[in-house]
Structure 1
Amino acid sequence: MSDDADVAAWLSGRLPQEWFETAPSVSVDREEIVVVGRLAAPEEPEGGAGAPRRAEAGRIARFREETRPARMRIADEAEALFGRKVAWGARCGQAEELFTNLATPVMTRLRQPQRQVLDTLVEAGVARTRSEALAWCVRLVGQHQQDWIQQLRDALVDVERAREAGPAA
């Protein structure tokens, strides 16, 4: 079973059922587990065009505050079990917010043409630093190549299954 499936299975038994409308999405990498659940939408508020968004943001803020001690206990248990930090998030209507997730430094070596791209983004004010510019580039690729990235992830799952089915060392 993959890390994602192990963690999701454990969380399905551990999280209070009343927290989320459906099972939360769980993503796992080497450093972090991110748990994002869908909250029930608030009643349609009266007001201008921005009222529903403000009500959704308020629902997320309330969830964050009211569940903080329980989320911290569950995160401590998960960190002990899985050896990764746990971040939380919530979706409500069109609003989504992640709470205190990691920003992990990543070492990379870039040649001058790649550094010049980052420096151009900094000079243009798109980013404040090369690090921020690189993060911007990664987000952009993730948005525009989402289908291709998902195909790669699916292929990696198949590779892992083949390894597990192979001969024992």
Structure 2
Amino acid sequence: MESEIRGWFTGRLPSGWFEGPPEIELDREEIAVFGTLPEPQGEGGEAERAALADGLIRRFREETRERRIEIAREAERKFQQKVSWGVVCGGEKVMFTTLSVPVMTRLRQSERQVLDTLVAAGVARSRSDALAWCVRLVGKNTDPWLAELRDALQHVDRVRSAGPDVNS
């Protein structure tokens, strides 16, 4: 399914939007489409390059808004999942839209105390925000391991799909 979605977006997106094909990230609810914008070319230092990247990102977002909405609606009908958009520019990944999905979990007292400490310290507004902050922190600090785990899961999916059909 991922290769079908990647192929569809690669064929559907207007040429010239991105450098290379889009990057697609999937989960059960959402298709996130990322494109790489040209690297900012400035004579100044880091601050100027960061400002250039911010300007490129904002311009791309505004100039492509109508078309991205149109393409997202087509994809949502075709693949039955919400579509979100983002870009990579100047080494930074920026999301324009994203789906926020509630997730229920049961936590023991010691785990709730971690969340409550983050709320009390002003790191998060609520337990929900604190939990999201923790998940982002773990994701950021374990990227290589998570990438390896995702690769292994893709291999399992390929092997499973090549196996016998148990419904026949």
Say what the alpha-carbon RMSD is for the aligned residues: 1.5
The 4+ residue runs of structure 1 with deviation greater than 2 A are: none
Query: Matched residue of 1:157: which SS?
Result: helix
Query: Matched residue of 1:23: which SS?
Result: coil
Partner of 2:19: 21
Paired-residue identity, %: 54
* TM-score, length of structure 1 as denominator length: 0.92
Query: Matched residue of 2:155: which SS?
Result: helix
- Alpha carbons 1:36, 1:89 under 8 Å: kept: yes
Runs of 5+ unmatched residues, structure 1: none
CA distance in 2 between partners of 1:150 and 1:43 (Å): 31
Runs of 5+ unmatched residues, structure 2: none
Q: Deviations over 1:103-133 (max 9, x none)?
A: 1111111111111111111112211110111
- Alpha carbons 1:21, 1:39 under 8 Å: kept: yes
Partner of 1:152: 149
Q: How many pairs were matched up?
A: 166
Partner of 2:36: 38
Query: Matched residue of 1:96: which SS?
Result: strand
Q: CA deviation at 1:41?
A: 3.0
CA 1:144–1:41 in 2, change beyond 3 Å: closer, same or farther? closer
Q: Deviations over 1:119-156 (max 9, x none)?
A: 11111221111011101111111111112212221111
- Alpha carbons 1:53, 1:95 under 8 Å: kept: no
